[in-house]
Amino acid sequence: MTGGAGGRASLPPGPYLVVDAAVCAAVGRRPADLAAAAVRSGVRTVQVRAKHVGVRELVDLTVAVTDAVRLAGPALVLVDDRVDVALAARARGAGVDGVHLGQSDLEAGDARALLGPGALIGVSAARPQDVRAVDPAVVDYIGTGPVRLTRTKPEAAVAAGFDGLGEAARTSVLPVVAIGGLGLDDVPAVRRAGARGLAVVSAICAAADPARAARMLVEAWQQQPSGMSGPSRAGVA
Ligand SMILES: Cc1ncc(COP(=O)(O)OP(=O)(O)O)c(N)n1
Ligand SMILES: Cc1ncsc1CCOP(=O)(O)O
Ligand SMILES: [Mg+2]
């Protein structure tokens, strides 16, 4: 699934699963099984997020999720925060596609140098000045949130809202992914705001039926026209 124009990866449009180890543990599900089920339902981007595990466990988890996703269908696998983990998983033969970097993680340029030109690299940015600071020659997409405050990331105390999301999408020359407190009912507003993707943890990981929840998100996305409101509309499907 890597290999957009000019060898650069491009972010698949639509629902994006952030498979969070703590949320999965709370509901007694294996992240690898959950990710595979979501990919069989049509999700095309999976991020591995585990904030409270050691680095060795995170490598094991990344390999397990990546291997399960590869068998399930054509989807990209990214690692939250950790370029070293992505590289270690690759060294073990897992086809990790890239990373999602926060504002205090490794700089995107360093990540690009380590991961290579074909990797998919996303960064978090919500405020217009942070969005403008992202280098489109290095980064592939921007994650903007939390759109709503969410228990999954309690330290994020300010919500961007849909206005903030729309402003980020208009400001950015890169595709924008919305995240934070989002679910099925938000698909129309996220698309109207001009986002290329809708990232969720709880709406899939904690759903009564994760495969069905993922399928409904995918179908809702496909049924909605996009907002086409900003420079990031290029390539929005
Ligand atoms: C798609 C996407 N967007 C934003 C984030 C948030 O990343 P970050 O700022 O690194 O915060 P943590 O997830 O690490 O708590 C994301 N993970 N994915
Ligand atoms: C990782 C992250 N970054 C901003 S909000 C968030 C958590 C999203 O989780 P949920 O979909 O459960 O609100
Ligand atoms: Mg992060």
Q: What is the pLDDT of residues 87-106, one digit of tens each?
A: 999 999 999 999 999 999 99
Which residue among 153, 176, 204 is best mutated to probe the pocket of ligand 2, counting the most ligand atoms within 8 A of its Cβ? 153
Which atom of ligand 2 approaches the CA of 205 most closely? 12
The residue nearest atom 10 of ligand 1, judged by CA position, is: 102
Whether the CB of 100 sits within 6 Å of ligand 1: yes
Which atom of ligand 2 approaches the CA of 180 most closely? 5
pLDDT at res. 230? 45
Domains of the chain in sequence order? 8-227 (3.20.20.70)
**Cα(123) to centroid(ligand 1), Å:** 8
C-beta separation of 8 from 41 below 8 A: no
Mean pLDDT of the chain: 93
**Cα(171) to centroid(ligand 2), Å:** 22
pLDDT at res. 233? 42
The residue nearest atom 18 of ligand 1, judged by CA position, is: 143
Choose among 155, 211, 159, 158: nearest CA to 182. Answer: 159
The amino acid sitting at 229 is S
C-beta separation of 90 from 116 below 8 A: no
Q: Which residues pair with 98 in a beta bridge?
A: 78, 120
Choose among 90, 116, 159: nearest CA to 8. Answer: 116
pLDDT at res. 1? 57
pLDDT at res. 149? 98
Residue 225 has, within 13 A of its CA and on its CB side, a CA count of: 3
Whether the CB of 146 sits within 6 Å of ligand 2: yes
Which atom of ligand 1 approaches the CA of 143 most closely? 3
Residue 152 has, within 13 A of its CA and on its CB side, a CA count of: 26
- d(C-alpha 91, C-alpha 20), whole Å: 23
pLDDT at res. 217? 98
Could you give the 3-state DSSP secondary structure of residue 120?
Answer: strand
Question: What parts of the chain have a pLDDT lower than 70?
Answer: 1-7, 227-237
pTM here is 0.95
The yes/no answer to whether this complex scores an ipTM above 0.95 is yes
